[in-house]
Chains A and B, each alone.
Chain A
Amino acid sequence: MDARLKLALDAVPKGVRYADIRLVEWEREDIYIKDGKVETVTRTLDSGIGVRCISRGAWGFAATSDSSKDAIGAAVHSAVDVARASSIAKIKDVELSDKEAASGVYAVEVKKDPFKVSVDEKINYLLQCDKQLRAVKGVSISECWIQSWLERKCYADTEGSDTEQNFTGIQCGVRASALNDNDLQARTYPSFRGQGAHGGYELVEELGLLGHCERVGEEAVMLLNAPECPKETTDLVFTPAVLGIFIHETVGHPTELDRVFGTEANYAGTSHLVPEKLNTFRFGSDLVTLVADATVPHGLGSFWYDDEGVPAQRTELVKDGIFVGYLTSRETAKVLNQRSSGTMRAQRWCHIPLIRMTNINLEPRQGTFDDVMSTTDGYLFDGFKSCSIDDRRLNFNLAADIAWRVKNGKKLHVIKNPVVSGISYEFWRNVDFVGGKESWALYGLLNCGKGRPGQIMKVGHGAPPIRIRNVTLGV
């Protein structure tokens, strides 16, 4: 056990019912290039300790960036004081579902350590990409980036857990924007803020950013001169890159059990998926099975143990169209007489763990991308632009970077500002095609926002292409 964790555990006063300690150390490197110029190279080193405890039946949390013995001891005592203050306004004692003690040292498998690839090499690669983007006539703004990180997270609790997890990760992408006095259109590869995954620099090489720059630039320019999105009822095909965000907003957030129980009512909102609907509510068509899977290789929502020391799991949220499960914590699971599904994570050492999406995935069925294209008379959406959804996760508005009018397996022409809106579960109920394994792709996001103080979190979304019938396109 890391000596600082032991110091903290030893400092927990007798009479404190429960405490857990997280020591988190981050190293991150961000390289961002715009219009052929290195805007900056940023290196971030971040470390600290967070102490969470239950005393007098209520939660307390304190955190410090000072790793001295005195500061760690002070943080422990501060957490206890906070818990005792919380008990002033408690209705009942906090209860936790059971778990086994966790142990072990774990690390993401890395073929090429991103911190051993020189800054120079990364910049040169991005500058090549940038040049390729700007070589396309009509591209006004070019952007390329690589972010690499290493996160070491050590955890211990008063129930005997002691784990160390080491996460190496990458996020990278290229974007071209075409601009005139009235319009700005952009295309990004691999996804709207790039692609994020756990792994080494080999992921950057596998994505082959350079090979996509010309297409990305051409599509941005094409969009500038494309007709606007029409308003009509039609059929849509979503690529996995668009669908990932839709899953995030319409499945991931509403199945967070803390939201359902109202603890985000003041901020992120609540959920229409109340416990009374469990195992009865038709959320989607029979083809729709959605899971929270924290065990997927490379997923940004993958880990070995969550920040309560609960093992990573695969949990069904929607099975054959029926709503069947939640993302839970030890405290919320107890209310439903369940054990935690292991989804509690905190952004940094100074944040308290919250229920967060892991990798929320649509399970594959059968068929290829060509299969769905050849049988669709409608539109193909690709590249996420923006999504807005109400506080119960019902009325959504999803905008993509680009859409093509498709018929008989052919892309006929491009439309710009494609947007679709509706009620989330009605949309899922109209899904009549879910692609097979070979068309399934996993995307990673770094910035899922939740909680106060605000936290962002790394999550993953895997999906094959799907088709949705009778959708309202346009505004």
Chain B
Amino acid sequence: MMEQYQIIRIKTHEGLTRFANSTIHQNVVKDETESAVLYVVDKKKAVLDSTGTEPDLKVAREIALNSEVNPDFVSLPDADEAGQPEFKGSFSKDAAQASPEVRARLVKEILALCTDKGLQAAGYLTTGSRERNIENSLGVKREDRTSFSELGITATGAGTGYATATHYDLDHIDVKEIAREAVETALQNVNQDTIEPGKYRVLLEPLAVHELFDFMAWLGFSGRLYDENQSCFSGMLNKEITSPLLTFTDEPIQELPGFGIDIEGVARRRTLLVEKGIFKNVTYDSYSAHMVNKKSTGNAFSFVVPWGGLPLSINVAAGKTDIADMLHEIKKGLLIKRFWYTRPVDRKSGILTGMTRDGTFLVTDGKIDRPVKNLRFQISLPEILKKIRMVGNTLRLYESGRFPHLLVDDFAITGMTG
């Protein structure tokens, strides 16, 4: 009888302070200890999630025995497949132990910066830490920890502006700079004009790029979806899928919260996804990798997801162009700060719709002309990635990676807010 199991223990301390209308309206602290076991008996799989550090292996085994054989299951990762982590989760005591008072004082500073400009502020500041302890019956034993801090600010007056930053270390969140950025956009984003639907050349700021890449990671780079012909890039490995200006990897990024191992204990590594436009690799967890005689790429993030391993932090290579030069290339087009409520309308074709939010500007003859109302877009991700004309030379860190500005042609605007 073949039996294998894996245990993961997670300990979280999280504090989050939310503010709006220039006051703190929500302030929470959580301490949680949880564990999960994946138990496999003769290819019958079960997961037991529970509160506390010691999962009940007997119960997990019993559930597995009552399940059915899954012939696709080969094995949990062994020590060889798990590899030696080259990256250790980034950790800062300041972020891990920041008190509610520390957060409240920073928030007070933010509120003052916004009210000084006649604006209201809404947002959140979160800090905390997470520890992972993983072991499996094949000898993999790993532990890691990370800390996190993230700030988001919406400045609101006659218009709105948004800015956000994330880092493992609270000291690296420049509260004043983030507030300044949100305020500046809010002050510019007034008396919004309307524009006609159509295809525009657009300069996407890194926050907007971040959202498109999040969807691309899911729709395009899951090894399992790729192998099942469900990816919008299925069949395109080693072919050109984006502009040759684009190169990006999935890899741990030192400045971001994160672990050196995935949830199966497999070492996170650098996986080249696209090199100068050529599709190089997809990402796997062990289950989906073994189905096609491959090894995990260290991208497992859940025991039970129908799309397998996904890129966990994307690192886009900086381009050569600065923002002013990118703007200069726009005769009549748009500057888009961020997207909102982006959704796939057609997964296989990679067609997305969504709205712009908190700052969309008409650009005329290379200069920011005037703000426009929030716009609805509908684009084909594979098509738009091929229409990238320039990649910015500065990168911004967000939750799921590091992203540049992109100058893109034929970005389809289909409507606008009321």
Contacts and interface: CB of A to CB of B under 8 A. Distances in A.
Interface of A: 30, 32, 34, 37-48, 58-66, 71, 75, 78-79, 81-83, 85-86, 88-92, 118-120, 123, 127, 140-141, 143, 177, 179, 181-184, 261-267, 269, 272, 350-352, 385-392, 394-395, 397, 399, 417, 419, 421, 423, 425-426, 452-453, 475
Nearest to A145: B306
Contacts of A75: 31
B218 interface: no
26 contacts: A30-B304, A34-B306, A38-B69, A40-B46, A41-B46, A41-B66, A43-B60, A46-B49, A48-B51, A61-B27, A61-B29, A65-B31, A65-B32, A65-B33, A78-B29, A86-B100, A88-B104, A89-B104, A143-B306, A179-B230, A181-B229, A182-B349, A265-B154, A266-B152, A352-B28, A390-B376
B137 interface: no
B21 interface: yes
B66 A119 contact: yes
Contacts of B99: 81, 85
Nearest to B156: A265
Contact of B68 (A38, A85, A179, A262): A38
A388 B306 contact: no
A278 B314 CA distance: 46
Contacts of A71: 31
A40 to B, nearest CB: 5
Contacts of A66: 31, 33
A269 B340 CA distance: 10
A39 B44 CA distance: 9
Interface string B365-389: 0000000001010100000000000
Interface stretch (B82-90, B242-250, B322-330, B410-418): B410-418
B28 A44 contact: no
A31 to B, nearest CB: 8
B343 A388 contact: yes
B234 interface: yes
Interface magnitude class on chain B: 35 or more
Interface in B302-320: 303-304, 306
Interface of B is mostly: strand
A37 B49 contact: no
B156 A89 contact: no
A125 to B, nearest CB: 12
A41 B47 contact: yes
B230 A85 contact: no
Given A266-B20, A395-B418, A419-B345, A82 B27 contact: yes
Given A61-B29, A89-B104, A453-B16, A32 B63 contact: no
A119 B235 CA distance: 38
Contacts of B230: 141, 177, 179, 184
Interface of B: 14-34, 38, 44-52, 59-60, 63-64, 66-72, 99-101, 103-105, 107-108, 111, 120, 122-124, 126, 152-154, 156, 160, 162, 228-230, 234-235, 303-304, 306, 340-349, 353-355, 357, 374, 376, 378, 414-418
Given A40-B45, A388-B354, A82 B100 contact: yes
Contact of A90 (B23, B33, B416): B23
A394 B376 CA distance: 11
- In the A-B complex, the 4 residue pairs with the closest CB atoms: A85-B100, A184-B348, A265-B122, A394-B418
Interface of A is mostly: mixed
Given A39-B304, A386-B353, 8 more contacts: A42-B303, A63-B30, A64-B31, A65-B34, A88-B105, A141-B228, A453-B14, A453-B126
Contacts of B33: 65-66
**Taking each of A66, A177, A452, which has the highest tally of chain B beta carbons within 10 Å of its own beta carbon?**
A452
B190 to A, nearest CB: 16
Contacts of B19: 89
Given A89-B104, A266-B20, A395-B376, A42 B340 contact: no
A60 B27 contact: yes
A58 B122 contact: no
Contacts of A264: 20
Contacts of B15: 82
B235 A82 contact: no
A37 B100 contact: no
A42 B378 CA distance: 37
Contacts of A350: 30, 32
A179 B27 contact: no
Contact of A394 (B49, B101, B417): B417
A309 to B, nearest CB: 19
Contacts of A47: 51
Contacts of A395: 355, 374, 376, 415-418
